[in-house]
Amino acid sequence: MGIKPMPWDRWYELDDRYIEYQTIRKRRLKERGSDVVCVLDDSNPLLPYGRCKQAAVEVLLDTANYLVQRYPSTFKLAFVGSIHRVEVLPTQEHYTLPSSLWVDNGDGLSMRSVSKEEAEQALVTLGALVQDDIAIMEEGMDGKYYFQAGLICVPGFWRMKDKIGLKLEDIHIAGNVPQYKEKLLLSLDRYFRRMRVDRPIIRHNYGGQVVNVQDPDVDDPEELAWSVTTNGMEDTYRPGHAHQPPEGLPLDVRPQALRIRSERQTLRRLPGSGCIVFGIRTYLYQVPTLCTEREGEIPESREWEGPEGKHVKDRLVSAVKSWPEEVRHYKGAKLYEDTIYNL
């Protein structure tokens, strides 16, 4: 699975594209609504407790406390009367936080109930604070984990509506993840069930993406939110990670049009609800820029297969050449591998 322990100071990472990313994310929320933020109800009999709603509030409150300590020049907690809110100092925006999840019922502390509406608002607020997309996985009575809530603003290559409500194994099988059935199905389920609160993890994923440099989208020229040049229109996308460029439109796959899309994925079990929060932080790198950088200047490149200590370009070429055939198909390598090999 390529996982590593996650240092707590790396739960969320901010960079100099924070405001740009948030502009794109807010536009997505406004334009696509339930395609971007969703909290499922309690209709699944295997999930009778609706912990995902409590998890949405729990992760927001944890995140707010984390951010003001990790990035004190960017975030500040404040009280306005009885209202608790978090302030984003660079943008002068502020967001009201929900009340504490824990209440005293006379016999000790317990988690209060959370409505679907409060949970959705918690995810919207969370998405306004960080650059990560968030998926919440809840354990069912069958011991399986289900994707029950999420804020997925910039998925690029998949749609939440195709996966929400599915259990972990069905998400991977439907997505044609290489070697999942043969090597990962049993071990991943087991890992999720045994995952400890104090042992968050981190992993990385990456692949190529072609963008339209001749006529870029004004609001999202790098196609962070959706890979329209590589996969066609989002609303007509056929799930399965097949990489489906629009018919009749030959792709311009010069280095100038090629991006490396890298995902930094974190998993953490929440102590209260017990749900697992899956964070997805996306980075887009222009290939011509990569060709001039050394490994230390692009931290994500350390996670790509290849020899240590060389230029990022050499590491990237080596990584793509190492992919087995089914991984090449999954990542759509036929669209861009020749361009990478000829850098």
Domain ranges of the chain: 4-341
User: Tell me, what's the pLDDT at 204?
Assistant: 92
Q: What is the pTM of this model?
A: 0.92
Choose among 69, 160, 73, 172: nearest CA to 120: 160
User: Tell me, what's the pLDDT at 105?
Assistant: 84
User: Tell me, what's the pLDDT at 106?
Assistant: 84
For 65-68, which contacts have Cβ atoms below 8 Å and span 24 or more sequence positions? 66/11, 66/12, 67/12, 67/129, 67/130
**Could you give the residue ranges of the DSSP H alpha helices within the chain?**
18-32, 51-70, 116-129, 168-174, 185-194, 228-231, 287-290, 312-321, 325-330, 337-341
Regions of the chain where pLDDT drops below 50? 307, 309
User: Tell me, what's the pLDDT at 333?
Assistant: 92
> Using CA atoms, how far apart are residues 119 and 99, in angstroms rounded to an integer?
12
User: Tell me, what's the pLDDT at 292?
Assistant: 78
Q: Is 205 exposed, middle or buried (0-12, 13-18, 19+ CB in 10 A)?
A: middle
